[in-house]
Structure 1
């Protein structure tokens, strides 16, 4: 197995950790000596994380069932804990892997340290630490026609969400649904990751002739989705069809909010968007679209 790598990004502030499929961007704000110590702690924990997961990979790719957790590793157990509340819906611990990794590294990063705030970003799934008086501003798609111009969601120390995850078409993982994106806010990143996966799966139009699907194994022989049909393309949809698909996902997200599993979800399909629950943060106007101001040859 290749060895994990560690480097600082050009800004000199954020750390990059990479090992196989895991790619993390870590930011810690505070006194320089505290930040340096936090980086060392995160890197030390990261060194053993992927081998631990690989040891239990067969079980991690197996559908979760009610009962005692059969997994041993701390990240694997985080994954299982995030998935099991959704039983009997089909879900494997892998639905929460990105978020669980972010949670684990964040815990190592902040342990015993005096930081103002910290974030571990695992391919867009984020675990946040916020000290009293501090906040994080995160981007959330509010205009489906211009997803690169997100609104800002301000999350403070007093607010509940500490995990943010996004799932849907075009992401790193396969989806059973047709959502362009589903972003979920929850108490931790693993919980948000599992929920975003299932809500994105639920945004769907089963049997629609314009949706192309193939068995997951054809795209990834070791997929935890086995022969379940995953979406590879979506043809033009009418407004009514988009609304119908979003209705299905909204019902699933609303149930998770009622159960206290998540705080809020943002569902995007085509030209439409739904907000379910209370974001527990202040949504501000979309951020300035820097891409429109770049020279043509940039």
Structure 2
């Protein structure tokens, strides 16, 4: 039997839900009624068969990225381009950018079909954005992705160079080499944000610390692109100084990426502590009511 993706409006009548295997998207567009309808139809068309496109090149997507690639698909080549800046520094595969790249592709299809005031595609917290003139998008930041609640908000404005938001860490859907509860990155595109969040989250770490439990990735998921490399499974009690050391390790990585123009900012969280790199507005949010307008990362 041929697998068919699940495509339906949510109960609010505003947002579109697209689900196929591990890909689970929430899409919202704002604009004239006809434009929104055309955008949703375009999203559904592009979504259909997208997972098959990725699976067709899965073997190479799960191998270490290099400067060049033989990948053919639009999305798979975008995945490779997003991780390529990090390939010379250590092990990374194009899969590190899959969620952001898919979100970016669906948003592109929507914008190719109609003119919208605002739109986003949220792929499990990795978000591709479109903001027309005068528009803004508020993102709620959780202390940990596996727990409810919002601890901070930040706002992306139309004039900002940010059109992608992504979060990575040991509590997310993918494995992490580091111990960060969550690292949220803002970048020019969702694919770039996705790759950078992975890199920074890996850097939040205390190598060889006895309170950190690690397991080979392929023991937890036999087909993991990380193979036998050790990934974090649990973090025991850490002192305040140890938390600060781990966060600073990640922050130094984030600063380098910021200086290289690969990200526009990052928020790093571990054991209730937070470090902010390259962002100004988030600190001001602490004393304001937290209003979640669009999405949670």
Q: Please say whether Structure 1 and Structure 2 have the same fold, judged by a TM-score greater than 0.5.
A: yes
Q: CA RMSD in A?
A: 2.0
SS where residue 91 of structure 2 aligns? coil
Task: Encode CA deviations 1:97-136: one digit per residue, 9 max, x unaligned.
Answer: 0000000000001114121100000001000000111111
Q: Provide the residue aligned with 1:256 in structure 2.
A: 257
Structure 1 pair 229/142, CA: closer, same or farther in 2 (3 Å)?
closer
SS where residue 284 of structure 1 aligns? helix
Structure 1 pair 43/168, CA: closer, same or farther in 2 (3 Å)?
same
Tell me whether 275-284 or 148-157 shows the greater mean CA deviation. 275-284
SS where residue 3 of structure 2 aligns? coil
Matches of 2:214 and 2:142, distance apart in 1: 26
Q: Provide the residue aligned with 1:126 in structure 2.
A: 127
Q: Provide the residue aligned with 1:160 in structure 2.
A: 161
Matches of 2:264 and 2:280, distance apart in 1: 6
Structure 1 pair 153/288, CA: closer, same or farther in 2 (3 Å)?
closer
Q: Provide the residue aligned with 1:78 in structure 2.
A: 78
1:87 aligns with 2:55: no
SS where residue 27 of structure 1 aligns? strand
Matches of 2:26 and 2:44, distance apart in 1: 12
Matches of 1:246 and 1:46, distance apart in 2: 37
Structure 1 pair 188/251, CA: closer, same or farther in 2 (3 Å)?
same
Task: Encode CA deviations 1:131-177: one digit per residue, 9 max, x unaligned.
Answer: 11111111134799x97233221211111010000000211111111
* Number of residue pairs matched by the alignment: 288
Structure 1 pair 172/90, CA: closer, same or farther in 2 (3 Å)?
same
Q: Provide the residue aligned with 2:205 in structure 1.
A: 204
Contact 1:263 1:277 in 2 (8 A): yes
Consecutive unaligned residues of structure 2, counting only runs of 5 or more, are: 293-297
Matches of 2:28 and 2:283, distance apart in 1: 22
Matches of 1:133 and 1:36, distance apart in 2: 22
1:7 aligns with 2:8: yes
Off by >6 Å, runs of 4+ in structure 1: none
- Per the normalisation by structure 2, the TM-score is 0.92
SS where residue 285 of structure 2 aligns? strand
Tell me whether 249-258 or 276-285 shows the greater mean CA deviation. 276-285
Structure 1 pair 143/224, CA: closer, same or farther in 2 (3 Å)?
closer
Consecutive unaligned residues of structure 1, counting only runs of 5 or more, are: 291-298
